[in-house]
A and B are shown apart, each in its own frame.
Chain A
């Protein structure tokens, strides 16, 4: 473990940009994980309850476990606080991503208590809350899609590189055929046939994104299978499975880690594009591209609908690209 730190982590953290990129990614993952505690109409703490309603001490925590979650969520805490019947400590963004308010359509960003820090959309929903809850979908699409792409890329590219010959010829042509499809059109066609659900989007982005990984893995396998340590294992009588998973694959992972980082950035972008085109994560579910889509309809008046989701997408893509670039440099000693 110590060796891993010295070899990998030290050069990694010697660069400020990389540290920032890592922090941004950690922040987004944290946001995605704890979205319901960051943007929620339920208060953290409640005291001084002068109403008839039974409110637990910490509605936000109780709602996680308790059965009367719906009742807790239906209480209008902000209203009660404004009327002075309740004192409460709220989450940083005291709104739900689904909560519409037709009195406050397309309000620009406002600060202060119960302000909409990033404005509201055409249904009066808080943009900040929608972006924070959308982080989960966007990051999840990125990670799962790349995960699917990795599995397919490694299996198909690995088989082509390891077995060579006719297998390689057929699989390589298959990879080239898949590359030739215009990805975006293919995804749109598939999503038009299936329902555009979160799972379908992940699968479709994953199924079109494996070709680059497969080609790199194929090249790595072609190169590694001829190395002496693989020959040595083969001469000891090692099985194909053992040769592939113990000797060849672990030594071919470096470029894959890099491609995965770039792939996540690409998948987040694709998901946003799909949402922007209206075939992304389905309607009430928030995602970054979904907020961005609304900006099409109000380009002159609602700049906040463009700026904030755009900034989130930009940050993620840049962070993962920086990370990928840095990993590439670390894992390829020649570039150091």
Chain B
């Protein structure tokens, strides 16, 4: 299980302090797909980057296995790096254009050769094995990334992530840069792999349809905070936070043909001067006076939680 506890991240640019994450706490149960959803700038990618060690959190911690983030040595990080892999959003920029596919996919094996103990032939066999797992054949080995389509490149990115037999995949919007026809293929692939390889996914997305399809748990983020977290089925059936509701309302659906979309008015609060109260208060259709002044306390809700003074 991955546990995020009170994580906060502040970026400083000049005199400005940008609050990218504020008090983010939720769990990613072992073997689950836990989605993080939110609009751009809500901090979902920052969360992924804190968990993978690209950013140092300013407060709070995450825990995985026997490790807790503030107390991790170089060796612990290497231990984590073998068990946590990441798949990126843009399949065009995530593969080094100067390397052959074999070099790209086998790189983690080479970096961790002291723990992996594979010779050249064994590495090659392992690369062929993962490439086949993601639906590519060994012809790909000698090719360069530019010879592949977006969908194929994303498969190569997934193969690179799988090559060390990780326990957790961090998927940063893995399908949102792909053509719609390819999205389903990659999504099905991810769904298969998860069961075969016994993986835990931290799945970052902004598309609720995708989340409904693949995820077991969902955390909804808004302006750097988790506003609601629950099992995906429960969250979709009965959202408690008005922001979750607005997201669901804005979801295109075949049942809603002819109805206008309910678009949210206004903008997200400035991350430089976050409001004292609920960040969503200014756009919320259920906002009361207290919402502007005081951050709501978490309320329990059937295994999940939400932060709202006036829930649905």
Interfacial residues, chain A to chain B (CB-CB below 8 A): 3, 227-229, 231-239, 242, 246-247, 250-251
Contact = CB atoms under 8 A, between A and B. Distances in A.
Contacts of B96: 229, 233, 246-247, 250-251
B90 interface: yes
B85 A242 contact: no
Contacts of B93: 227-229
A333 to B, nearest CB: 12
Contacts of A235: 52-54, 81, 84-86
B98 interface: yes
Closest 7 pairs between A and B when the two form their complex, measured CB to CB: A228-B94, A237-B81, A236-B108, A229-B96, A228-B93, A250-B98, A228-B88
Given A3-B144, A247-B96, A232 B86 contact: yes
A234 B85 CA distance: 11
Interface in B94-121: 94-99, 107-108, 111-112
Given A228-B88, A231-B86, 13 more contacts: A227-B93, A228-B90, A229-B93, A232-B86, A232-B157, A235-B54, A235-B86, A236-B107, A237-B77, A237-B108, A238-B107, A242-B111, A246-B96
B240 interface: no
B78 interface: yes
27 contacts: A3-B144, A228-B88, A228-B89, A228-B90, A229-B93, A229-B94, A231-B88, A232-B86, A232-B160, A233-B96, A233-B107, A234-B54, A235-B84, A235-B85, A236-B81, A236-B107, A236-B108, A236-B160, A237-B111, A237-B112, A238-B107, A238-B111, A250-B96, A250-B98, A251-B96, A251-B97, A251-B98
Nearest to B99: A246
Contacts of A236: 81, 85, 107-108, 111-112, 160
Nearest to B90: A228
Contacts of A234: 54
Chain B interface residue number, banded = 20 to 34
Nearest to A228: B94
A239 B74 CA distance: 12
Contacts of B78: 237
A227 to B, nearest CB: 5
B54 A231 contact: yes
Contacts of B144: 3
Contacts of B157: 232
A239 B77 CA distance: 13
Nearest to B147: A3
A227 B144 CA distance: 18
B21 to A, nearest CB: 18
A231 B108 CA distance: 13
A235 B77 CA distance: 10
Contacts of B52: 235
A231 B52 CA distance: 10
Contacts of A231: 54, 86, 88, 94
A229 to B, nearest CB: 4
Contacts of A237: 77-78, 81-82, 108, 111-112
Contacts of A247: 96
Contacts of A229: 93-96
Contacts of B54: 231, 234-235
A233 B90 CA distance: 15
Nearest to A227: B93
Contacts of B99: 246
Interface string B4-35: 00000000000000000000000000000000
Nearest to A236: B108
Contacts of B97: 251
A89 to B, nearest CB: 51
Contacts of B81: 235-237
Contacts of A227: 93
Contacts of A246: 96, 99
A233 B81 CA distance: 11
